Amino acid sequence: MSRARILRHALTTQPQPSGARSAFVLPCRKLVIEYCESQVGSKGTRDYLLQHAANMARTYSGVEFVVTPRPQRQPLARSFYLNGRSKQVSLQNLEATQVAPKIQQLLDSSGTKTDGLKRNPVRSTASSARGIWSPLHDDPHTL
């Protein structure tokens, strides 16, 4: 059984300023895709790399794409953002068509921390009427 060998050269590209195209910079600066060449759970990731990764790298020339082998581990996609944060998504047991939206989600993300939608934090400009409680100002209990 012959398998096609996946190239492992890191594509480092710098965006060229050219008018309106240089006005927007993607928040994602680097995308690392790690996979295993022998495990079944990495098959979709390997297929995605063979079929779609070169087009994705050409489309997003301002993002550095790195593909590295990760023997005997589940496949991962890690993205690093301009604000210093990073996110990672597991690609375990996904088909090649399911890997593409996960990669696109990381590329489109801003890298900011996700806030909860259910509870809004209470923010007040006025200080509390009773002040801040301290155990030093409380009367000790007597037994």
Beta strands in the chain (DSSP E): 28-35, 64-69, 76-81, 86-90
Q: Residue 138 falls within a domain, yes or no?
A: no
Query: Does some domain include residue 13?
Result: no
Helix, strand and coil in the chain, % to nearest 5: 25, 20, 55
> Is 6 inside a domain boundary?
no
Tell me what pLDDT residue 4 has.
65
Ranges of the chain with pLDDT below 70: 1-23, 115-117, 128-129, 137, 140-143
143 within a domain of the structure (yes/no):
no
Q: How many domains does the chain have?
A: 1
CATH of the domain at 90: 3.40.30.10
Helix axes 43-51, 96-108, angle to 10 degrees: 70
Q: What is the pLDDT of residue 47?
A: 95
102 located within any domain: yes
Note down the domain range covering 90: 25-108
d(CA 97, CA 109): 19
Element holding 133 (H helix, E strand): none
